[in-house]
Structure 1
Protein backbone atom coordinates (compact mmCIF):
# COMPACT_ATOMS: atom_id res chain seq x y z
CA UNK A 1 0.00 0.00 0.00
CA UNK A 2 2.35 2.70 -1.15
CA UNK A 3 1.20 6.27 -0.77
CA UNK A 4 3.22 7.10 -3.86
CA UNK A 5 5.51 9.55 -2.07
CA UNK A 6 8.14 9.14 0.57
CA UNK A 7 8.70 6.07 2.68
CA UNK A 8 8.29 4.82 6.22
CA UNK A 9 9.59 2.24 8.60
CA UNK A 10 8.39 1.08 11.98
CA UNK A 11 10.13 -0.43 14.97
CA UNK A 12 9.95 -1.12 18.65
CA UNK A 13 12.30 -0.61 21.57
CA UNK A 14 12.80 -3.33 24.20
CA UNK A 15 10.14 -5.73 22.91
CA UNK A 16 9.64 -8.75 25.18
CA UNK A 17 7.10 -10.95 23.34
CA UNK A 18 7.70 -12.78 20.07
CA UNK A 19 4.01 -12.70 19.15
CA UNK A 20 3.90 -8.91 19.41
CA UNK A 21 6.91 -8.52 17.12
CA UNK A 22 5.33 -11.00 14.72
CA UNK A 23 2.11 -8.97 14.75
CA UNK A 24 4.01 -5.73 14.11
CA UNK A 25 6.13 -7.28 11.32
CA UNK A 26 3.06 -8.71 9.59
CA UNK A 27 1.24 -5.36 9.85
CA UNK A 28 4.31 -3.52 8.54
CA UNK A 29 4.37 -5.87 5.55
CA UNK A 30 0.61 -5.47 4.96
CA UNK A 31 0.72 -1.65 5.13
CA UNK A 32 3.72 -1.43 2.80
CA UNK A 33 6.44 -0.39 5.23
CA UNK A 34 9.81 0.04 3.58
CA UNK A 35 11.67 -1.34 6.61
CA UNK A 36 11.15 -2.41 10.21
CA UNK A 37 13.50 -2.66 13.14
CA UNK A 38 14.03 -3.45 16.80
CA UNK A 39 16.17 -1.65 19.35
CA UNK A 40 17.44 -3.74 22.28
CA UNK A 41 14.93 -6.60 21.85
CA UNK A 42 14.56 -8.98 24.80
CA UNK A 43 13.34 -11.88 22.65
CA UNK A 44 14.57 -14.36 20.08
CA UNK A 45 13.94 -12.81 16.68
CA UNK A 46 14.76 -16.23 15.17
CA UNK A 47 11.63 -17.63 16.87
CA UNK A 48 9.53 -14.87 15.29
CA UNK A 49 10.99 -15.56 11.84
CA UNK A 50 10.16 -19.26 12.14
CA UNK A 51 6.42 -18.57 12.54
CA UNK A 52 6.20 -15.62 10.13
CA UNK A 53 3.25 -16.64 7.91
CA UNK A 54 3.31 -13.43 5.83
CA UNK A 55 7.03 -13.71 4.98
CA UNK A 56 7.53 -10.20 6.36
CA UNK A 57 11.17 -10.90 7.21
CA UNK A 58 11.79 -12.01 3.61
CA UNK A 59 9.82 -9.14 2.05
CA UNK A 60 10.61 -6.09 4.19
CA UNK A 61 14.17 -5.16 5.24
CA UNK A 62 14.67 -5.81 8.97
CA UNK A 63 17.42 -4.40 11.17
CA UNK A 64 18.16 -5.23 14.79
CA UNK A 65 20.06 -2.69 16.87
CA UNK A 66 21.52 -3.65 20.23
CA UNK A 67 21.22 -0.09 21.55
CA UNK A 68 19.73 3.22 20.45
CA UNK A 69 23.12 4.68 19.54
CA UNK A 70 23.40 2.00 16.85
CA UNK A 71 20.11 3.01 15.17
CA UNK A 72 20.86 4.35 11.70
CA UNK A 73 18.08 5.92 9.64
CA UNK A 74 18.18 7.08 6.03
CA UNK A 75 19.23 10.70 5.47
CA UNK A 76 16.24 13.01 5.97
CA UNK A 77 14.19 10.40 7.81
CA UNK A 78 12.40 11.76 10.89
CA UNK A 79 12.08 9.59 13.98
CA UNK A 80 8.54 9.62 15.38
CA UNK A 81 8.00 8.21 18.86
CA UNK A 82 4.63 6.68 19.73
CA UNK A 83 4.06 7.14 23.44
CA UNK A 84 1.17 8.02 25.73
CA UNK A 85 2.75 11.03 27.46
CA UNK A 86 1.36 14.45 28.29
CA UNK A 87 3.03 16.55 25.60
CA UNK A 88 2.49 14.10 22.73
CA UNK A 89 0.66 15.20 19.59
CA UNK A 90 -2.64 13.35 19.17
CA UNK A 91 -2.52 11.09 16.12
CA UNK A 92 -5.63 12.53 14.38
CA UNK A 93 -4.00 16.01 14.47
CA UNK A 94 -0.55 14.87 13.31
CA UNK A 95 0.82 15.45 9.80
CA UNK A 96 3.02 12.48 9.00
CA UNK A 97 6.49 13.30 7.65
CA UNK A 98 7.09 12.20 4.06
CA UNK A 99 10.11 10.21 5.28
CA UNK A 100 9.47 8.70 8.71
CA UNK A 101 10.50 5.93 11.08
CA UNK A 102 7.99 5.25 13.86
CA UNK A 103 9.23 3.73 17.11
CA UNK A 104 7.00 2.22 19.79
CA UNK A 105 7.84 1.38 23.38
CA UNK A 106 7.86 -2.05 25.01
CA UNK A 107 4.76 -3.88 26.18
CA UNK A 108 5.16 -3.17 29.90
CA UNK A 109 6.85 0.21 29.81
CA UNK A 110 7.58 3.38 27.90
CA UNK A 111 10.07 4.57 25.35
CA UNK A 112 13.30 5.38 27.13
CA UNK A 113 14.08 9.02 27.88
CA UNK A 114 17.05 8.68 25.54
CA UNK A 115 14.79 7.54 22.69
CA UNK A 116 12.22 10.28 23.29
CA UNK A 117 15.00 12.88 23.28
CA UNK A 118 16.16 11.61 19.89
CA UNK A 119 12.66 11.75 18.34
CA UNK A 120 11.70 14.59 16.02
CA UNK A 121 8.06 14.14 17.08
CA UNK A 122 6.20 12.25 19.81
CA UNK A 123 2.64 11.20 18.99
CA UNK A 124 -0.07 9.38 20.90
CA UNK A 125 -3.22 7.53 20.03
CA UNK A 126 -5.99 9.31 21.94
CA UNK A 127 -7.19 6.72 24.46
CA UNK A 128 -7.52 6.20 28.19
CA UNK A 129 -4.72 3.65 28.61
CA UNK A 130 -2.08 1.79 26.62
CA UNK A 131 -2.96 -0.94 24.13
CA UNK A 132 -1.00 -3.82 22.59
CA UNK A 133 2.15 -2.63 20.80
CA UNK A 134 1.23 -4.45 17.58
CA UNK A 135 -2.23 -2.89 17.55
CA UNK A 136 -0.78 0.56 18.25
CA UNK A 137 1.67 0.15 15.37
CA UNK A 138 -1.13 -0.92 13.02
CA UNK A 139 -3.21 2.13 14.00
CA UNK A 140 -0.31 4.49 13.27
CA UNK A 141 0.31 2.86 9.88
CA UNK A 142 -3.40 2.97 9.04
CA UNK A 143 -3.54 6.66 9.97
CA UNK A 144 -0.54 7.32 7.72
CA UNK A 145 -2.33 5.52 4.89
CA UNK A 146 -5.66 7.34 5.19
CA UNK A 147 -4.08 10.75 5.72
CA UNK A 148 -1.99 10.41 2.55
CA UNK A 149 -4.82 11.86 0.43
CA UNK A 150 -4.76 8.93 -1.99
CA UNK A 151 -8.34 7.83 -1.35
CA UNK A 152 -11.75 9.26 -2.12
CA UNK A 153 -13.05 11.45 0.71
CA UNK A 154 -15.48 9.97 3.20
CA UNK A 155 -19.11 10.85 2.50
CA UNK A 156 -21.20 12.94 4.84
CA UNK A 157 -23.84 10.22 5.05
CA UNK A 158 -23.24 6.67 6.27
CA UNK A 159 -21.84 4.22 3.74
CA UNK A 160 -19.26 4.19 1.00
CA UNK A 161 -17.89 7.11 -0.98
CA UNK A 162 -20.00 8.93 -3.54
CA UNK A 163 -16.86 10.24 -5.20
CA UNK A 164 -13.91 8.33 -6.55
CA UNK A 165 -10.29 9.24 -6.92
CA UNK A 166 -9.26 9.18 -10.58
CA UNK A 167 -5.69 9.18 -11.85
CA UNK A 168 -5.67 11.20 -15.05
CA UNK A 169 -1.91 11.20 -15.61
CA UNK A 170 -1.12 14.63 -14.18
CA UNK A 171 -2.01 13.54 -10.68
CA UNK A 172 -5.06 12.48 -8.78
CA UNK A 173 -8.35 14.31 -8.86
CA UNK A 174 -11.80 13.69 -7.48
CA UNK A 175 -14.60 12.72 -9.85
CA UNK A 176 -18.21 12.89 -8.73
CA UNK A 177 -20.15 9.72 -9.42
CA UNK A 178 -23.44 10.17 -11.17
CA UNK A 179 -26.48 7.92 -11.41
CA UNK A 180 -25.32 7.10 -14.96
CA UNK A 181 -22.02 5.77 -13.59
CA UNK A 182 -23.87 3.41 -11.25
CA UNK A 183 -25.55 1.54 -14.16
Structure 2
Protein backbone atom coordinates (compact mmCIF):
# COMPACT_ATOMS: atom_id res chain seq x y z
CA UNK A 1 0.00 0.00 0.00
CA UNK A 2 1.32 3.41 -0.97
CA UNK A 3 1.62 6.00 1.82
CA UNK A 4 -1.23 8.46 2.01
CA UNK A 5 -1.23 12.00 3.18
CA UNK A 6 -3.39 13.11 6.09
CA UNK A 7 -5.69 10.84 8.10
CA UNK A 8 -9.26 9.64 7.89
CA UNK A 9 -11.97 7.88 9.80
CA UNK A 10 -15.03 5.95 8.71
CA UNK A 11 -18.42 5.81 10.35
CA UNK A 12 -22.02 4.78 10.01
CA UNK A 13 -25.35 6.10 11.18
CA UNK A 14 -28.16 3.83 12.40
CA UNK A 15 -26.63 0.66 10.95
CA UNK A 16 -28.61 -2.44 11.88
CA UNK A 17 -26.89 -5.44 10.28
CA UNK A 18 -23.78 -6.85 11.95
CA UNK A 19 -22.44 -8.28 8.66
CA UNK A 20 -22.52 -4.82 7.04
CA UNK A 21 -20.96 -3.14 10.07
CA UNK A 22 -18.16 -5.72 10.19
CA UNK A 23 -17.57 -5.50 6.44
CA UNK A 24 -17.25 -1.71 6.57
CA UNK A 25 -15.01 -1.79 9.64
CA UNK A 26 -12.77 -4.38 7.96
CA UNK A 27 -12.55 -2.22 4.80
CA UNK A 28 -11.71 0.84 6.89
CA UNK A 29 -8.92 -1.11 8.59
CA UNK A 30 -7.63 -2.49 5.26
CA UNK A 31 -7.42 0.99 3.70
CA UNK A 32 -5.59 2.45 6.71
CA UNK A 33 -8.31 4.35 8.58
CA UNK A 34 -7.26 6.10 11.76
CA UNK A 35 -10.56 5.49 13.58
CA UNK A 36 -14.08 4.11 13.19
CA UNK A 37 -17.31 5.53 14.60
CA UNK A 38 -21.03 4.92 14.81
CA UNK A 39 -23.99 7.21 15.44
CA UNK A 40 -27.11 5.56 16.89
CA UNK A 41 -26.24 2.00 15.81
CA UNK A 42 -28.48 -1.03 16.36
CA UNK A 43 -25.43 -3.28 16.22
CA UNK A 44 -23.21 -4.53 19.02
CA UNK A 45 -19.77 -3.59 17.71
CA UNK A 46 -18.11 -5.87 20.25
CA UNK A 47 -19.51 -8.94 18.49
CA UNK A 48 -18.38 -8.48 14.88
CA UNK A 49 -15.80 -11.29 14.74
CA UNK A 50 -17.69 -13.31 12.09
CA UNK A 51 -17.86 -10.47 9.59
CA UNK A 52 -14.57 -8.77 10.47
CA UNK A 53 -11.82 -11.35 10.36
CA UNK A 54 -9.13 -8.65 10.44
CA UNK A 55 -10.00 -7.84 14.08
CA UNK A 56 -10.27 -4.16 13.19
CA UNK A 57 -11.75 -3.45 16.60
CA UNK A 58 -8.36 -4.34 18.13
CA UNK A 59 -6.51 -1.96 15.81
CA UNK A 60 -8.81 1.03 15.31
CA UNK A 61 -10.09 3.39 17.98
CA UNK A 62 -13.90 3.12 18.04
CA UNK A 63 -16.23 5.97 19.03
CA UNK A 64 -19.98 5.81 19.44
CA UNK A 65 -22.57 8.55 19.86
CA UNK A 66 -26.32 8.43 20.31
CA UNK A 67 -27.13 11.44 18.12
CA UNK A 68 -25.62 13.48 15.31
CA UNK A 69 -25.40 16.46 17.67
CA UNK A 70 -23.05 14.51 19.98
CA UNK A 71 -20.63 13.59 17.17
CA UNK A 72 -17.19 15.08 17.72
CA UNK A 73 -14.19 14.79 15.42
CA UNK A 74 -10.50 15.61 15.76
CA UNK A 75 -9.58 19.26 15.25
CA UNK A 76 -9.52 20.17 11.56
CA UNK A 77 -11.26 16.94 10.51
CA UNK A 78 -13.93 17.45 7.84
CA UNK A 79 -17.15 15.40 7.86
CA UNK A 80 -18.03 13.90 4.46
CA UNK A 81 -21.44 12.30 4.04
CA UNK A 82 -21.81 9.54 1.46
CA UNK A 83 -25.34 9.72 0.14
CA UNK A 84 -27.16 9.22 -3.16
CA UNK A 85 -28.88 12.61 -3.52
CA UNK A 86 -29.30 14.96 -6.46
CA UNK A 87 -27.23 17.73 -4.87
CA UNK A 88 -24.31 15.53 -3.77
CA UNK A 89 -20.98 15.84 -5.61
CA UNK A 90 -20.09 12.88 -7.83
CA UNK A 91 -17.22 10.99 -6.19
CA UNK A 92 -14.92 11.16 -9.28
CA UNK A 93 -15.13 14.98 -9.11
CA UNK A 94 -14.54 15.26 -5.36
CA UNK A 95 -11.23 16.40 -3.88
CA UNK A 96 -10.77 14.45 -0.68
CA UNK A 97 -9.75 16.56 2.33
CA UNK A 98 -6.46 15.56 3.95
CA UNK A 99 -8.24 15.15 7.29
CA UNK A 100 -11.67 13.61 6.81
CA UNK A 101 -14.30 11.42 8.43
CA UNK A 102 -16.60 9.63 5.99
CA UNK A 103 -20.05 8.72 7.24
CA UNK A 104 -22.45 6.34 5.52
CA UNK A 105 -26.12 5.76 6.21
CA UNK A 106 -28.06 2.74 7.31
CA UNK A 107 -29.32 -0.08 5.19
CA UNK A 108 -32.50 0.73 3.27
CA UNK A 109 -32.33 4.35 4.28
CA UNK A 110 -30.42 7.59 4.16
CA UNK A 111 -28.39 9.72 6.48
CA UNK A 112 -30.71 11.67 8.76
CA UNK A 113 -31.25 15.36 7.98
CA UNK A 114 -29.53 16.18 11.30
CA UNK A 115 -26.36 14.36 10.23
CA UNK A 116 -26.42 15.75 6.69
CA UNK A 117 -26.60 19.23 8.24
CA UNK A 118 -23.36 18.44 10.15
CA UNK A 119 -21.54 17.40 6.95
CA UNK A 120 -19.06 19.76 5.31
CA UNK A 121 -19.45 17.83 2.04
CA UNK A 122 -21.85 15.24 0.66
CA UNK A 123 -20.64 12.92 -2.09
CA UNK A 124 -22.33 10.22 -4.11
CA UNK A 125 -21.10 7.22 -6.01
CA UNK A 126 -22.50 7.68 -9.53
CA UNK A 127 -24.53 4.46 -9.74
CA UNK A 128 -28.06 3.78 -10.97
CA UNK A 129 -29.18 2.88 -7.46
CA UNK A 130 -27.76 2.45 -3.96
CA UNK A 131 -25.17 -0.23 -3.32
CA UNK A 132 -24.55 -2.09 -0.07
CA UNK A 133 -23.09 0.13 2.69
CA UNK A 134 -19.93 -1.96 2.92
CA UNK A 135 -19.40 -1.81 -0.84
CA UNK A 136 -20.04 1.95 -0.86
CA UNK A 137 -17.49 2.48 1.90
CA UNK A 138 -14.85 0.45 0.08
CA UNK A 139 -15.42 2.42 -3.14
CA UNK A 140 -15.03 5.76 -1.35
CA UNK A 141 -11.88 4.61 0.45
CA UNK A 142 -10.36 3.26 -2.75
CA UNK A 143 -11.06 6.59 -4.43
CA UNK A 144 -9.37 8.39 -1.52
CA UNK A 145 -6.35 6.09 -1.74
CA UNK A 146 -5.97 6.62 -5.49
CA UNK A 147 -6.38 10.39 -5.33
CA UNK A 148 -4.22 11.09 -2.25
CA UNK A 149 -1.65 8.32 -2.55
CA UNK A 150 1.60 8.63 -4.43
CA UNK A 151 0.68 6.41 -7.36
CA UNK A 152 2.15 6.75 -10.81
CA UNK A 153 -0.26 7.68 -13.57
CA UNK A 154 -1.83 4.70 -15.33
CA UNK A 155 -0.49 3.69 -18.73
CA UNK A 156 -2.47 4.69 -21.82
CA UNK A 157 -2.92 0.99 -22.56
CA UNK A 158 -1.90 -2.16 -20.74
CA UNK A 159 1.82 -2.57 -21.14
CA UNK A 160 1.94 0.68 -23.10
CA UNK A 161 3.60 3.99 -22.38
CA UNK A 162 2.53 6.26 -19.58
CA UNK A 163 0.66 9.32 -20.76
CA UNK A 164 2.69 12.54 -20.40
CA UNK A 165 0.95 15.88 -20.26
Same structural fold, with TM-score higher than 0.5 when normalized by the shorter chain: yes
Residue of structure 2 equivalent to 1:102: 102
Is the contact made by 1:9 and 1:100 (CA closer than 8 Å) also made in structure 2? yes
Q: Which runs of 5 or more structure 1 residues have no equivalent in the other structure?
A: 164-173, 175-183
Cα deviation 1:47-83 (Å, max 9, x = unaligned): 2146531010001111111211221100000000000
Distance 2:118 2:80 in 1: 9
Counterparts of 1:40 and 1:161, CA distance in 2: 50
1:88-124: per-residue Cα shift (whole Å, max 9, x none)?
A: 0000000000000000010110000011111000000
CA contact (8 A) 1:153 1:161 kept: no
**Equivalent position of 1:59 in the other structure:** 59
Write out the 4+ residue segments of structure 1 that deviate beyond 6 Å after TM superposition.
none
Residue 116 of structure 1 corresponds to 116
Structure-1-length-normalised TM-score: 0.84
Checking the alignment, whether the CA contact within 8 Å between 1:152 and 1:161 is kept in structure 2 is no
- Structure number with higher relative contact order (C-alpha < 8 Å, ≥ 6 residues apart): 2
Q: CA RMSD in A?
A: 1.7
Is the Cα contact below 8 Å between 1:2 and 1:32 reproduced in 2?
Answer: no
CA shift, 1:3, in A, is 3.6
Q: How many residues align?
A: 163
SS at match of 2:52: coil
Identify the residue that residue 44 of structure 1 maps to in structure 2.
44
Show the counterpart of 2:148.
148
Indicate the SS of the match to 1:147: helix
Q: Match of 2:91?
A: 91
SS in 1 for 2:38: strand
For residues 160 and 144 of structure 2, the distance between their equivalents in structure 1, rounded to whole angstroms, comes to 19
User: Equivalents in 1 of 2:50, 2:2: separation in Å?
Assistant: 27
